[in-house]
Amino acid sequence: MPTDAYWKDLSDVSLLASISGPADLRDLTREQLNELAWQVRDFLVEQVSRTGGHLGPNLGVVELTIALHRVFDSPRDSIVFDTGHIAYVHKLLTGRQDFGGLRSRGGLSGYPCRAESAHDVVENSHASGSLSWAAGIARGRRLRGQTDRRTVAIIGDGALTGGMAWEALNDIAADKDLPLTIIVNDNERSYAPTGGGLAEHLAQLRISRGYEDVLSWGRRTLTGTPVVGQRAFEALHGIKKGLKDIVAPQVMFEDLGLKYIGPVDGHDLDQLHTALRRARDFDGPVLVHVLTEKGHGYEPARNHEDDQFHAVGVINPETGLPLEIAGRSWTDTFSDALGQIGAQRPEVVALTAAMLIPVGLRDFAAAHPERVFDVGIAEQHGVAMAAGLAFTGLHPVVAVYSTFLNRAFDQVLMDCALHRAGVTFVLDRAGATGNDGPSHNGMWDMSLLGVVPGLRLAAPRDGETLAQELAEAVAVTDGPTVLRFPKGTEPSAVPALERADGLDVLARHGVGPGESPDVLIVAVGSMAPLSLEAGAKIAAQGHRVEVVDPRWVLPVAPALVARAAGAGSVAVVEDGVVSGGIGDRIAGALAAAGVSTPVHRFGLPKEFIEHASRAQVLTDAGLTAEQVADRLIDQLGPAAPTPRDTLRLA
C-alpha cells in the first residue's frame, strides 16, 4: 500500500485516465482496482488542493464508489447521493476528470449536477433527503413496469440524524418488495463527530465485527474437529446466539423490517462487492452498513479533530497546510462576541445542527459545555427545542447557515414567533456564497422571514456592528430575532457619521442638516461599502446623496419611512433575493404611510444561481458600485441645479 509520502505525476496515472465510464471498471483485476483506488486518492489530493473543495469526505468513499459502479449499472440504475459532497469519485468514474475548474464558473460543480451527466440524479445539497428521493424513484420505476432497474441511496451517519431520513425509513420499511438499496456511509462524522442516540447505536453495531470474527473462528474450529454434523451446528448456533446477545445489540434496522447487511469494511473491495451484490439481488429494501474513514489514505486529513479537511481552501498537498492566509472572518467575530455575552449572561445557551465548528460555537462550547446543544442535522427539531428552552427563561442562540434555516421555516413561524419566544437566530453564509452553487446561496432568508409576525432582523455591516447587534438581539425576550452575515473575511470597519432614531448615517453628499437628498441609499448589511462607493459616484454627477444603514431592517423602522418621505427617491441595496426582500418591505411601508417616493431595488434575482465566485454572482446581479451608480444616475436624470447654480445663471 502506498505511504502518505507516495505521490505520482498525474501524467503517469494511466489507469485512472483510461476510465471513461463505469463499464471500464468491470474488467479490471483486483490488483488494478486497488491501484485505481490509490490513483484516485492521489488525483483528489493533488487537484482539490489547488481549487479547494470537499477533500476528506471523498477520500473516504473511494473504494465504496468503485464498488458501486461495478455492481450497479448507472445511469440505468439510479444512484442518489445524500448531500452530494461525496460525489467527486463518482464524477471521476463517470468521465469527468477535468477538475481544474472545480467549483468555479464553467468548471465542474462541487455537487451532483444534471447538466454535467446523466449519472447525476439529485442536485440539492441539503442533507437527509436522499431516502425520500430514492423511495420515489424506486416506486415510480415499479409502477412503470421497470422492475429490472435498481435504485441506490448513499446516506452518511451524520445525515441519518435528520428527521426527514427517519420519516423515509419508516415508510420504506413497510414496502417489503421495494427494489431499493440503502447504503449507510458510517464514518462517525458529518462536519464533526456524529452525536446522539443513532450514533451510539451505530457505534455498537461496529462492535459486531468482533462478533463476526469470533463466529468465523468458531466455524473453523468446530468443523475441524471430529464432532461434526448436527452437534457441531447446534454448538455453532449457540455460540452465534450467545455472542449476538453479548457483543452486538439488537439490530434496529431489522426491527424496522429492513434487511440489514454489515458492518462492511468500506476500504475492502472484496467485502464491498459481496455485500452490494447481495443487496442488489435481494427482493426488497436492503440497508448496507459500510464503515469508512474520513480522509482515508491522506494523513493530514485523517488526523484533524476539528475536521478542517471536510472542506478545504487552497492547500499544500504534501503538508495539508493552507497556502492562502485568510483574514479574520465574520464567523470569528460572532464567536468572540457570543463568548463575551455568554460570560456575562448565564441564561444564554447555544444550539447547532451538527456544525459546531463551522458556525463558530467551538469556543463557547469549550467554556460552557453544558450550555451547548448539538441536535444533529435536524434543524426543525433544533428550532422547536429552542422555543422550549426559551419557555424556561433561557435565551437560545441558534447558529446555522442561512440556507439551512429554510428547512425550519415552519418552526420559526409557528413555534417561535407564534409563541413570542425570545430566540436569536444567527445566519452564517447569508447572501451569495458562490462556489457551492444554487442550494447553498443564502439568498432566501430575508424574503422568507419578512412574512413572520413580530420577527426582528439585523444585518451587520462590519464586525463592530455585529457584536453590538448580537447584544441587542439576546436582550429581546418577546419574539425571535435574527442576525445575518456573509461568508468570508470581515471588511474594514464602516464608521457612522451619526446615529439618528436608530439609523446609522454613513455618508452625506451635498445634504445639509435638515435637508432632504435627491436619493436616499439604504445599505443592507454587507452592502454598506458598495453603497458608499456608489453614493460617491452619484454625488460626483451633481446629485445630493445620503447613505444610511437601518441596522435592524425588519420590521421597517418608522424613522426610515420618515426619512424616505422627504427624499427624491430611495435605493435599497441588499444581497438577498430582491423579490420579497428588504426593498419590497420598504416600498410597502412607504405605500402604507401614504408616501409616494419611488423605491429602486437592487438585489439578487429570483432564480437558482449556478456556482461561481461571490464576486461573479454579485456582478451578474448588477451589484457592483459602478452598476448601481450607473443605473441610479440613468433613473435620476440630470441633477437639479443648486441654489448657488441658480443665482449664477441669473
Does 410 count as an annotated binding residue? no
Residue 606 annotated in active site: no
**Distance between CA 47 and CA 55 in Å, rounded?**
10
Does 104 count as an annotated binding residue? no
Catalytic residue among 70, 91, 259, 379: 379
Distance of CA 205 to the CA centre of its chain: 28
Residue 379 annotated in active site: yes
Q: Are 43 and 92 in contact (CB under 8 A)?
A: yes
Which bin fits 493, alpha (ψ -120 to 50), beta or left (φ > 0)? beta
Which residue from 434, 551, 67 is spatially nearest to 267, judged by alpha carbons? Answer: 67
Cα torsion 570, 573, 576, 578 to 10°: value is 40
> What is the DSSP code (8-state) at residue 486?
-
Q: Is the alpha carbon torsion for 28, 1, 269, 172 positive or negative?
A: negative
Q: Are 25 and 33 in contact (CB under 8 A)?
A: yes
Q: Are 541 and 509 in contact (CB under 8 A)?
A: no
> What is the DSSP code (8-state) at residue 423?
-
Does 379 count as an annotated binding residue? yes
Does 157 count as an annotated binding residue? yes
Cell numbers found for residue 489: 473575511
Residue 637, Cβ density class (10 Å: 0-12 exposed, 13-18 middle, ≥19 buried): exposed
Task: Write out the H or E segment, with its range, that includes residue 419.
Answer: none
**Distance between CA 315 and CA 324 in Å, rounded?**
7
Does 85 count as an annotated binding residue? yes
Q: Is the alpha carbon torsion for 496, 498, 503, 509 positive or negative?
A: negative
**Distance between CA 236 and CA 502 in Å, rounded?**
78
Catalytic residue among 70, 407, 544, 563: 407
Does 127 count as an annotated binding residue? yes
**Distance between CA 572 and CA 164 in Å, rounded?**
37
Catalytic residue among 41, 96, 103, 294: 294
Residue 305 annotated in active site: no
Annotated binding site: 85, 125-127, 157-159, 187, 298, 379
* Residues assigned a catalytic role: 294, 379, 407
Annotated binding site for thiamine diphosphate: 85, 125-127, 158-159, 187, 298, 379
Annotated binding site for Mg(2+): 157, 187
